[in-house]
Structure 1
Amino acid sequence: MPKSELMPIGVFAERSGLTSSALRFYADSGLLPPAEVDPVSGYRYYSAGQVVRATVLRQLREIAMPLAGVEAVLAAEGEDAVRLLDEHVAGVVEDAAGTRGKAAAIRSALGGDVPGLDVAALKGPVFADAVEQVLTATARESAMPVLAGVRVEASQEAVALTATDRYRLSTRTLVPAEASVIAWAGTVDGDELRAAAAEIRRSPSVRLEAVAHGIWLRVTGREDHYCRLLTEEFPDHRRMFASLGEVTTRVTAPKNLLLRALEEHSGDHVALHLTHRGMTVGDRTALAAAVTGLSLRISFELTTLYPAVSTSIGPDVMLDLRGDDQPVTVRSADRGDLTTLVMPVRKVS
C-alpha cells in the first residue's frame, strides 16, 4: 500500500481513540499489528481500514474485557461475537452483585454495633411494586445525579416513594405494616433499589432501617440489601403539587384500551383530543371514555405518557388536565396511592 494512503501512529491514535503507547502494546500482543513498519526507522503506519477494528478493541477494553476475550470477539463473526460479548457482560454483572454483597458485609463490620433507625415495616411484594412503578420517572443526568434516585419519606401513617426526571413525577404512598416511631427522609440510589426489588418481591415483608450513609432493607428469610443515600438535594416535589392549577378537563378511560391505542400509534408524539363524546388518540383511534369539562387537544411524548399509564393501578385510568401546556395528573380512577405528573409538549399536527 502506498505510504500516501497510510496514517502515522499519531494520526491513527487520534482516529481510533487509542493512545500511541496502547497501539504499540496491541501491536506487540498481535491484536492490532500495523499495516506497515518502516524497516529503517521502525516507525509504524496504519490503514484507514483498521480504524473500525481499533475502535471495537478500545470499546471492549473499556468494559473490562480481558485480552483473551477481546481476541476471541475480534476473531468471531456475527452472532458468535455478540454471544461472547453478552457472556462477558453477564459475568461483569454477576461479579458486581457479588462485590455489592461483600461490601455490605464489610460495611456492617465497620459500623460496629451501632444500630440503625427502624424506619418502617412493609409487605415485600407491595414495596417492590412501588419501587418499580416510581423508577419509571427517574433519569440519568451527570449534571443532576439525584434524578436517578428515589425519595423515601416515612411517617407514622405512611411511607411515600417519589421520583422525578423534571418532565414527569411519580409518587406512591404505602401504609406500613407497623407504625413507625420516627419520621425519616432520604434519597436512595435508584439502581441499587432496582437490584434489591427482585429479591424483596419474593419475601413476605421488608423492614427499612436507616444508617448514616444508606438504608438497609432487612428481608425476612433472605439476604439483606444495602442501598446508598444520594447527598444532592432532591427537587421540591411538594411545591410542584401545591402549584398545580385548577382541573379544567377530566377523562376516565379503560387502561388496557388506552395502552393498546398508544402502542399502535406511530410516531414519537401522540395527541389526545378530548370532547364530551369521548377521547381520540392520534387522529384515528376513538375510545369510549368519560370526559367532563372543557374540550381539549393536548400532545405528549410517547415515552412520557406511556409509562405513566402503564404503571397506574386498577382497570381504569384518570387524567386530570389543566390546559394544553400544564402538568397532567395520571392516576387510578378509584385509588389515589399512586400519582404521576406528566408534562405535555407543543401541539403536533
Structure 2
Amino acid sequence: MPNSELMPIGAFALRSGLTSSALRFYADTGLLLPAEVDPATGYRYYDADQLERATTLRRLREIAMPLAGVGAVLAAGTEEAARLLDEHVAKIEEDAAAARRGAAVIRSALGGDTLGTLIAVLKGPVLAEAVEQVLTATATATATGPTHDPASAVLAGLHVEAGDEAVTLTATDRYRLSTRTLVPVRTAEQAWTGTVDGTDLRNAVADVRRSALVRVEAVPHGIRLRLSGREDRHCRVMPEEFPDHRSLLASLSEVTTRAAVAKGALLRALEEHPGERPVLRLSGRGVRVQAPDDELSGIRLPAAVTGEDLRIRFEMTTLYAAVSTAIGPDVLLDLRGPHQPVTIRSADRGDLTTLTMPVTFDH
C-alpha cells in the first residue's frame, strides 16, 4: 500500500499544473519519476517535495524549452541554469526575427490575392521534415498497403488536425501509424481537420523546405501553402473518412517491456539481417536481432531493458521505416507482448510517435 502522505497522480497533477499524461511522459523520460508505484495496481504516487521540480519543469516547457534542455537546467547549479536559460531565450529571439523577415516576404508575395482561412503558420523546414517522416506510414509508402482498394484511398493521405496550440499530422497503412505534433508560429483562426492528398504534399516538400515560413490555409476542396518568395502550392483534401486512430491510441494495453536503444546501432543490425522478418529478443542483457529460426546467434545490441523478457517479430519494411524516422540518436520501444502494437518514439523527444504491428511467428 502507498504511503498515506503521498499524492496520487491526479492530485499531484492539479497541484503542479501538469496533466496526468504529461506526468507519465516525464516519468518515462526520467525527468520526474514517481516517488512510489503500487506494484499491484501500477498506480503512481508523488511526494510533496517533488512539487518544486514539477513546477520548474512545467515553466520550462511553457517557454518551449526542449526536453534535453529541461534536463540540463534541472540538473545544473544556479549559475549554469541561468546561462542555459539565456541561451534558450536568445534562440527564441533569433527565431522571432526570422519569422518577422518571413512575414515581410509573405506580405510582398500575397499582393491582392484573397486569403483563405488560416490553419497555421509553420516553419518550412520543420513542416517539410514532419511531412516526410509521417508520410512513410501511408499505404503507398509500404509494400503492405492495399492501395488497389478504392475504399482505402484515404490511407495514402496525411491527416491534419489544427487547433489553438498545435498542428498534428497522422498517417497509417493499418500496419503502422505515425503521428507528429508541431507547435506553430501562429495558430489557426478556427479549428480545422482534414486528410490531405499525400502525393500533392510530397510534390510540395522541396519548396516547403526552402521557405522560412509557410502559411497554411483552408480553401475549397483543399489547402493552400503560401511560401516565402515562391509560388503557392495547392494540395487536395480527400473526401474519404480517415480511420479512427484516436480510439486505437486510447485502447492500447499497458506496456510490459520497455527498451532504450541507440537508433544507429539498431538500424545497422536490421540492415545486416538476412531475412524479411527480423526477430527482436529483449531481456535484461539487451536487445538481440535474430532470424526466426536461429535462437542462438544474431546481433546483440546494448540497451536499457525493463519489464518482461520478450521475443517479437516484425516485417522488415515496417520496423526499419519506423526506426529510421525517429528523431535523435536513441529510440524508446514500448512493447505490450508479441501480438500487440509497439510504440516507437524518440528517447528524448516525444513529438514523433509511431505504432508498429508485429507479425506472428507462423505468418
Common fold by TM > 0.5 = yes
Asked whether 1:135 is paired with 2:135, we answer yes
Deviation, structure 1 residue 222:
0.9
Partner of 1:314: 328
Cα shift readout 1:218-242 (whole Å, capped 9, x = no counterpart): 1011111000000000001101100
1:333 to 347, 350, 355: 347
Asked whether 1:185 is paired with 2:193, we answer yes
Q: How does 1:181-260 map to 2 (within 5 A)?
A: 181-260=189-268
Count of residue pairs the alignment pairs up: 238
> What is the alpha-carbon distance in structure 2 between the residues aligned to residue 114 and residue 335 of structure 1?
38
2:174 to 166, 186, 198: 166
Counterpart residue identity of residue 166, structure 1: R
Counterpart residue identity of residue 190, structure 1: G
- Structure 2 gaps of 5+ residues are 1-111, 141-146, 291-296
> What is the alpha-carbon distance in structure 2 between the residues aligned to residue 220 and residue 308 of structure 1?
31
Asked whether 1:298 is paired with 2:337, we answer no
Cα shift readout 1:133-186 (whole Å, capped 9, x = no counterpart): 011100141321000000011001100110000000000100001122311011
**Conserved 8 A contact 2:117-2:189:** no
Cα shift readout 1:294-315 (whole Å, capped 9, x = no counterpart): 0000000000000000000011
> Are the structure 2 counterparts of residues 221 and 115 from structure 1 closer, same or farther at C-alpha, using a change threshold of 3 Å?
closer
Counterpart residue identity of residue 119, structure 1: I
Counterpart residue identity of residue 134, structure 1: V
Q: Kindly, what percent of the aligned residue pairs are identical? A: 64
Could you say what secondary structure the match of 2:134 adopts?
helix
Asked whether 1:275 is paired with 2:289, we answer no
Could you say what secondary structure the match of 2:314 adopts?
strand
Cα shift readout 1:6-30 (whole Å, capped 9, x = no counterpart): xxxxxxxxxxxxxxxxxxxxxxxxx
Deviation, structure 1 residue 347:
2.2
Counterpart residue identity of residue 295, structure 1: D
> What is the alpha-carbon distance in structure 1 between the residues aligned to residue 298 and residue 360 of structure 2?
20
**Conserved 8 A contact 2:169-2:179:** yes
Counterpart residue identity of residue 313, structure 1: I
> What is the alpha-carbon distance in structure 2 between the residues aligned to residue 249 and residue 348 of structure 1?
22
> What is the alpha-carbon distance in structure 2 between the residues aligned to residue 218 and residue 114 of structure 1?
12
Counterpart residue identity of residue 169, structure 2: L
Could you say what secondary structure the match of 1:273 adopts?
strand
**Conserved 8 A contact 1:269-1:348:** no
Counterpart residue identity of residue 297, structure 1: R
Cα shift readout 1:326-348 (whole Å, capped 9, x = no counterpart): 00000000111000000000126
Cα shift readout 1:48-97 (whole Å, capped 9, x = no counterpart): xxxxxxxxxxxxxxxxxxxxxxxxxxxxxxxxxxxxxxxxxxxxxxxxxx
Counterpart residue identity of residue 149, structure 1: G
Deviation, structure 1 residue 121:
0.2
**TM-score (ref. length: structure 2):** 0.64
Cα shift readout 1:257-295 (whole Å, capped 9, x = no counterpart): 000000010111000000011000114100000100000
Asked whether 1:287 is paired with 2:287, we answer no
**Conserved 8 A contact 1:299-1:348:** no
- Structure 1 gaps of 5+ residues are 1-111
- RMSD over aligned CA atoms reads 1.4
**Conserved 8 A contact 1:216-1:225:** yes
Partner of 1:22: none
**Conserved 8 A contact 1:168-1:341:** yes
Could you say what secondary structure the match of 1:122 adopts?
strand
Asked whether 1:117 is paired with 2:125, we answer no
Could you say what secondary structure the match of 1:134 adopts?
helix
